[in-house]
Amino acid sequence: MGLGGFGMGEMVFIFLIVLLLFGAKRLPEIGSSLGKGIREFKSSVREIEHELKVPADRQIHHSSPPPEPASTSATAEEDGEPRSLSDSVPTSDV
């Protein structure tokens, strides 16, 4: 047997160690999350391979438009009332 291969005896031994560490109740949960992680990884690899195979000029970019800059004060169109200088200048009661 090669250095990187696992035989049936080694697989049973690893399963018994995992069973002792995590318990029988957690094994299905661990297997399910491990399977989901492997599926997501394979999907990501396929997506990256597809992006590398498709020429850059043929790719369709589905990006959203850039966000508009945020305004710290309301404008006349936003609140429906005209703005005056006294609205934007804080007053102090001294």
Tokens of 82: 């005209």
Tokens of 59: 């790719």
Q: For residue range 33-62, list pLDDT tens digits in order.
A: 999 999 999 999 999 999 888 765 565 555
The single-letter code of the amino acid at 83 is R
What's the CA dihedral at 35, 36, 37, 43 to 10 degrees? 110
What's the CA dihedral at 68, 73, 77, 79 to 10 degrees? 130
Domain boundaries, the chain: 25-57
The number of beta carbons lying within 10 Å of the beta carbon of residue 27 is 13
- Quick one: pLDDT at residue 27? 87
Q: For residue range 79-93, list pLDDT tens digits in order.
A: 565 565 555 555 655
